[in-house]
A and B are shown apart, each in its own frame.
Chain A
């Protein structure tokens, strides 16, 4: 054994050093204070969310549903903080998202909807692959639903429309353009005319010449709804477009500065009555564009003669 004493000591020391550094040290150094935004489980006459959490664990929900929002997650509510998890043990952070994130799920749907969805997921979400939990007893089901409804109940949403946290935290602080100034709005006007007016119209009423052919109509910026958009949200929409529509991602075409100029211009558009475009003569008229006539040869270069 003598020849291997050094090796054995080496293995033991290496391992205990690593355990100290990555297991013991975090327990000593990392004690986040309770943030007051963690989930609060309030028992009612009907159901007990603390027991519902045990059902959540028992049914293994966390294998497909995570419970932490990341900077880049869209539409999943406010970002979590370290102090939100002080009382959460065993932790249900999760590691795969076969289904949506549940960090702020509470209140997104009525309790009856949640219950029906647990019993027959595909009746409410066609195409979902969630297993049916119809075997849960009524008490288990009520407790589980009350737990789901309490997720994120202490994290308040500040605005009706919110850009992903990335935009609030990363892009907004390094904004170089004063989006409230006339100069910036003037600079944005040209960018708007070149890039946006074809669909959104010259006055931003969503009635550009392209709009008639679009299944999903372009936004009418003169609606009251758009007057409450914060800068970061405008910037997010312009940068990343709108999934499911023809609105493209302008971060691939315009620089960051140009997009801020555009935001400044968009904010100056007036609030008007809503315009619904369903007739051709309501469109902004664009003069007929005369393209040079093509000869047959140019039109079909490979047709081989006349």
Chain B
């Protein structure tokens, strides 16, 4: 009995629990980001509380949205999408629920340690040794669960989404283990090289690959249209596999690391345009004749918005990685805007689309309020645009400051209005996420209003 309560064996429970946990951590993570943003405008807002000092909030914000919200949501979505694509059940629901608890334990640990400054001092790899090991174990367990599900599949061909999911679950555990540097102390610049290999590949080999796999899953299903081209989708997959992994050094392009490594990073960054444009051509051709559906279909609108932001972020990326643009833009808020464009604009939107699409099919219940979904969309979309614009302008001012040798004290005053706008955008995004969470609570945690048999049947089929 207790085993069933803690490690449920019910079909779809692991996916559902992962998604619910992800939403919980998204509120804490985005909330921390918002508070950090407010502190840029009002530096003395919170005084003498080390846990709420900006650097600690930032550590927790990054880890909670990347490891908590996006990663947990991704695993939840994979636990739902992989069985549905393989036309079989998840290999082990119990194992799935075990990984869910393990991952939540990691996040509780992150909450307790990072806000107190217990960090390894490596950007994007802040978690301590115990938590690192726990994440690695959870990742390997998740990978074996998904791989066994695919081995037991009832269809012969692997849809492109499965290529992406399986690729990501092979790459990411390795990238994570290499990138943490938990038990090694490398000399400074080597530490930075490995660090940025990890820092960029958590994006390239995990957020992008799983996110694009989800786009491949969601767009044809939401529009009821076949994928435009399987050949193009394979080209995109191999392009990402080849060109994404070596790009990390473009983050330290102006530091004294070897030039040949910088050259590899810049060239492969520019070549990334190939898979990105391939993937997007495929999506936009799939959408052909179906564009009007975004007016009524909210999950589709989230997915299409995500594709649009993906286009923008992936055109920005290669352009910023070239030496002369990097010379000007590096170290500024422009880059912060770019990072939010990828993780918030692109991958958070596609994950939200997956949640709106998947939760009713996992639980057999309908969303209680379409209006709240629209409110969520507009708050998040407009909030994000405001954040992007204000950070980009602030970044350009900072760039000019560094390039022309203007002292920090001087340009620091010029960008204060943009800190203000960014704080407002943070409030809007968190408000949107709270509305999302409220809608989830109303729809799935209150006595059922309506059971949609048809949609449950669709999942089982």
Q: Which of A27-35, A203-211, A217-225 contacts B (4 or more CB under 8 A)?
A: A27-35
Within 8 A of B (CB), among A66-120: 66, 68, 70-75, 80-82, 84-93, 95-100
Out of B163, B181, B194, B419, which one reaches A129, CB within 8 Å? B419
Shortest CB–CB separation between residue A39 and chain B, in angstroms?
A: 10
Give the number of residues in A that approach B within 8 Å (Cβ atoms).
Answer: 71
Given contacts A82-B256, A97-B332, A135 and B419 within 8 Å (CB-CB): no
Shortest CB–CB separation between residue A257 and chain B, in angstroms?
A: 24
**C-alpha gap A244/B156 in the complex (Å):** 70
| A30 partner residues in chain B, CB cutoff 8 A | 189-190, 193, 257-258, 261
Q: Which residue on chain B has the smallest CB distance to residue A134?
A: B48
B interface footprint on A149-190 (CB within 8 Å = 1, 0 otherwise) = 000000000000000100000000000000000000000000
| B121 A92 Cβ-Cβ under 8 A | yes
Residue A122 at the chain B interface, CB threshold 8 Å: yes
**C-alpha gap A73/B336 in the complex (Å):** 20
| A121 partner residues in chain B, CB cutoff 8 A | 43
| B419 partner residues in chain A, CB cutoff 8 A | 129
A interface footprint on B140-173 (CB within 8 Å = 1, 0 otherwise) = 0000000000010000101000010001001100
A interface footprint on B398-419 (CB within 8 Å = 1, 0 otherwise) = 1000111111111011001001
| A292 partner residues in chain B, CB cutoff 8 A | none
Within 8 A of A (CB), among B318-337: 327, 331-333, 335-336
| A135 B49 Cβ-Cβ under 8 A | yes
Out of B44, B50, B58, B254, which one reaches A122, CB within 8 Å? B44
Residue A294 at the chain B interface, CB threshold 8 Å: no
Given contacts A85-B188, A128-B409, A96 and B163 within 8 Å (CB-CB): no
| B189 A122 Cβ-Cβ under 8 A | no
Given contacts A22-B261, A72-B403, A93-B255, A129 and B188 within 8 Å (CB-CB): no
| B56 A29 Cβ-Cβ under 8 A | no
Given contacts A22-B261, A58-B117, A100 and B408 within 8 Å (CB-CB): yes
Shortest CB–CB separation between residue B152 and chain A, in angstroms?
A: 11
| B245 A19 Cβ-Cβ under 8 A | yes
Within 8 A of A (CB), among B230-259: 238, 241-242, 245-246, 248-249, 251-252, 254-258
| B245 partner residues in chain A, CB cutoff 8 A | 15, 18-19, 22
Residue A57 at the chain B interface, CB threshold 8 Å: yes
**C-alpha gap A85/B186 in the complex (Å):** 11
Given contacts A7-B163, A12-B170, A63-B58, A95 and B117 within 8 Å (CB-CB): no
Given contacts A66-B331, A97-B332, A129-B43, A88 and B188 within 8 Å (CB-CB): yes
**C-alpha gap A66/B251 in the complex (Å):** 13
**C-alpha gap A32/B190 in the complex (Å):** 10
Q: Which residue on chain A has the smallest CB distance to residue B243?
A: A18
> Which of B117, B122, B255 is the most central at the interface, judged by chain A CB atoms within 10 Å of its CB?
B255
Task: Give the size range of B's interface with the partner.
Answer: 35 or more
Shortest CB–CB separation between residue B399 and chain A, in angstroms?
A: 10
| A97 B331 Cβ-Cβ under 8 A | yes
| B44 A132 Cβ-Cβ under 8 A | yes
Residue A214 at the chain B interface, CB threshold 8 Å: no
Residue B132 at the chain A interface, CB threshold 8 Å: no
B interface footprint on A124-144 (CB within 8 Å = 1, 0 otherwise) = 010111111111000000000
| B171 A60 Cβ-Cβ under 8 A | no
Shortest CB–CB separation between residue B295 and chain A, in angstroms?
A: 39
Out of A3, A89, A93, A122, which one reaches B252, CB within 8 Å? A93
Closest 5 CB pairs of A and B: A60-B55, A85-B188, A74-B405, A57-B121, A88-B188
Q: Can you list 5 A-B contacts with CB-CB less than 8 angstroms, sorted by A residue number? A: A18-B246, A29-B258, A91-B191, A129-B416, A135-B53
Interface of B toward A, CB cutoff 8 Å: 39-41, 43-44, 47-50, 53-56, 58-59, 117-123, 151, 156, 158, 163, 167, 170-171, 174, 178, 181, 185-195, 197, 238, 241-242, 245-246, 248-249, 251-252, 254-258, 261, 264-265, 327, 331-333, 335-336, 398, 402-410, 412-413, 416, 419
Interface of A toward B, CB cutoff 8 Å: 1, 3-4, 7, 10-12, 14-15, 18-19, 21-23, 26-27, 29-32, 57-64, 66, 68, 70-75, 80-82, 84-93, 95-100, 121-122, 125, 127-135, 164, 240, 243-244
